[in-house]
Structure 1
């Protein structure tokens, strides 16, 4: 996989892997699909089928799924690396994978992207929202928006300024892709 990441146009490493008996392991087959996805993207082909196959094979091995995807962040095959890093951090928050989480935070800082700080969160953020970069404080605001409160009421309830609440709401709209407060309410997990 590392040889493919360095030289995606060289089919030799992937062919060597295909001839090997290590493909009896789902982990190795998943890694091969990720390599094939990188090569497909390099050729201008659609990498989605190989990415989906890798996800299926690695579904029960989340650490390796996330680690292998991190190896590919330098390539365009996964798209923007920021959401990928947020997804890895969301998963790592419920584990003891401190080194992987710190590596992701360092990469986010290097990209100039916001770095979630879960130790400051007083509220659990569902993984789907954590993967989008929603913080604990934003989750508090989202729940109050979902309850129908306006910015002044949210500010009073959370002891924040109105401007801070406006910023949190704007961040939530951007992170969730919602177009309005009404649509934002639909993003609340049931």
Structure 2
């Protein structure tokens, strides 16, 4: 589907399977280092600004959630396709991610909103917080949608940067406003900076 983010979830794997483990790596990108983590189900986490302290915090959180220390594995087969697709996205060659995703770090309303965002807001488009709330049957829940964007464990792949204020403002962003501006400029929503 041209212009759409495709979320492929393998529903046959249980995220709590013993021994499944989490593997992670840090990759460079146009918006700084990203920590990518994957389980046997798929990509589970993308973390912005992955300096040493951010990496430690992210890995500790993953260890607490999954009950075992994640393994640094830059050559991991689990991470090869996410790394390839993110590189293609930042090179302007990919508009739709086709990755298996592990949604186990998010649930309830937040998961519902993020799945709608991933499936229904294509590359180069934006949606308002209120409109996204209405799409999931919760008109008036714009603030809750904002909280869901802030809780997104898979930014860029699940494109929370495409959610903006209805009055034309850019809105907030967990990765910082400059990162949001860069991603929206990459997708042609905002003009690229002259300098």
TM-score between both structures, scaled by the size of structure 2: 0.28
| Bigger helix share | 1
**Using CA pairs below 8 Å that are at least 6 residues apart, which structure has the higher relative contact order?**
2
Higher alpha-carbon Rg? 1
**Greater share of strand residues, 1 or 2?**
2
